[in-house]
Amino acid sequence: MGFFDLFILAFGLAMDAFAVSICKGLSMKKATLREGAICGAWFGAFQALMPLIGFFLCKLFEDAIRSFDHWVAFILLGLIGANMLKEALEHKCCDCDEKSGDLSVKTMLIMAIATSIDALAVGISPLGTEPGTNIFLAVTLIGVITCGLCVAGVKIGNLFGSRYEKGARLAGGIILILLGTKILVEHLMEHGAAI
Over the stretch 92-136, which tens digit does the pLDDT of each residue have?
A: 555 555 445 678 898 899 888 888 888 888 888 788 777 788 999
Element (H, E) at 160: helix 135-160
Cα separation, 142 vs 45, whole angstroms = 9
Residue 111 forms part of a structural domain: yes
Residue 85 forms part of a structural domain: yes
Cα separation, 107 vs 101, whole angstroms = 10
Classify the phi-psi angles of 193: left when phi > 0, otherwise alpha if psi is within -120 to 50, otherwise beta.
left
Residue 195 forms part of a structural domain: no
Whether 1 has a pLDDT exceeding 50, the answer reads yes
> Domain range spanning residue 141?
3-190
- Structure confidence at residue 140 (pLDDT): 95
Whether 84 has a pLDDT exceeding 80, the answer reads no
Residue 123 forms part of a structural domain: yes
Whole-angstrom Cα Rg for the chain:
17
> End-to-end distance of the chain based on CA atoms, in angstroms?
20
Residue 152 forms part of a structural domain: yes
Task: Please tell me the number of Cα atoms within 13 Å of 157 on its side-chain side.
Answer: 36
- For the chain, the domain total comes to 1
Q: Helix (H, G, I), strand (E, B), or coil: what is residue 30?
A: coil
CA angle, corner 46, sides to 40 and 51, nearest 5?
Answer: 130
- Structure confidence at residue 195 (pLDDT): 47
Q: Calculate what percentage of the chain has a pLDDT beyond 70.
A: 87
